[in-house]
Amino acid sequence: MDLKTVTMKGTKHRARKRIGRGIGSGSGKTSGRGHKGLGSRSGSSRKPGFEGGQMPLYRRVPKRGFTNARFRTEYTIINVRELEAFDKGSTVDLDGILAKGLTSLETKLLKVLGMGELTKKLTVRAQKFSKSAVEKITAAGGEVVILDAKGSDAPKEEAPKKAKKAKKAKAKVEEAPAEEAPAEEEAPAEEAPVEEEAPAEEAPAEEEAPAEEASAEEEAPAEEAPAEEEAPAEEAPAEEETTEEDPEAEQKEDGDSNA
């Protein structure tokens, strides 16, 4: 023990270790680096996870699928039931919650969940609210204020942007029918003549067809009528001849019988 050690009285800053000052410095001849090898050389360093050259653990473990966990947004979370610690009518934000020790700081973004019941009228300022939390806060007569990532009121900044987007959407909707209207009116105008011409061409064809069929039907009976009249004329003499021959045959038969 020396006078310096007595006067320090356990301060947080310790004297740095003097490296390379020989055996008498307390670090030995090699200053804690050992004999030979990578660690004994100047400028040597080892990255995290290095295992002396063998296959490191992060390469031996199988990896499957995709995860977006590295890029997710973290929030400091609190439930509605824990807001009962505030007085009625007070404004609740992340600083007030941390001051009362209701939760620990994870990020500067606050999210309020709806577990539990709330009976006090409070103005709660946070970046995110669950649907049930909003219902319970408003049911108690309170107010919900949504903040952006910087902690300022988001609705006031976003309101003009939403109004501009709504105006642009209305303008597009009004322009779209104005451009399409002439196209719809021209389409029937082009189709109308085609529909009128088609019946005009087909009408004569339908009228001529019955005229030809009628003449064909009239000619057919005219040709067949004589044929039907001539057939009985030819058959009539044949019947008369058979009747004339019958008396002679009977006379011959009578003569034979008399003989």
CA atoms within 13 A on the CB side of 115: 5
List the chain domain ranges: 72-152, 155-193
Counting beta carbons within 10 angstroms of the beta carbon of residue 218, is it exposed (0 to 12), middle (13 to 18) or buried (19 or more)? exposed
Q: CB-based contacts of 28: which residues, under 8 Å, 6+ apart?
A: none
Q: Which pLDDT value is given to residue 253? A: 60
Phi, psi angle pair for 27, to nearest 5°: -100, 0
Residue 215: strand, helix, or coil? helix
Residues 145, 128: Cα–Cα separation, whole Å: 9
Alpha carbons 144 and 111: distance in angstroms, whole number: 12
- Give, in words, the CATH class of 72-152: alpha beta
Closest CA to 124 of 75, 159, 72, 82: 82
The encoded tokens of residue 23 equal: 């055996």
From first to last of its 259 residues, the chain has per-residue pLDDT tens of 677 777 766 666 777 888 889 888 888 899 989 999 888 999 999 999 999 899 999 999 999 999 888 899 999 999 999 999 999 999 999 999 999 999 998 899 999 999 999 999 999 999 999 999 999 999 999 999 999 988 788 655 444 566 677 778 878 877 755 445 444 555 454 554 444 454 445 544 444 444 445 444 444 444 444 444 444 444 444 444 444 445 565 565 665 555 4
Do residues 74 and 106 touch, judged by C-beta distance below 8 A? yes
What predicted TM-score, i.e. pTM, was given to this entire model?
Answer: 0.40
Distance CA 31, CA 180 (A): 86
Chain CA centroid to CA 249, Å? 112
The pLDDT of residue 69 is 87
Question: How many Å apart are CA 18 and CA 2, to the nearest integer?
Answer: 18
* pLDDT score, position 151: 79
Looking at residue 180, its pLDDT comes to: 52
Give the pLDDT confidence score for residue 156 in this predicted structure: 53
For position 150, what pLDDT does the model report? 84
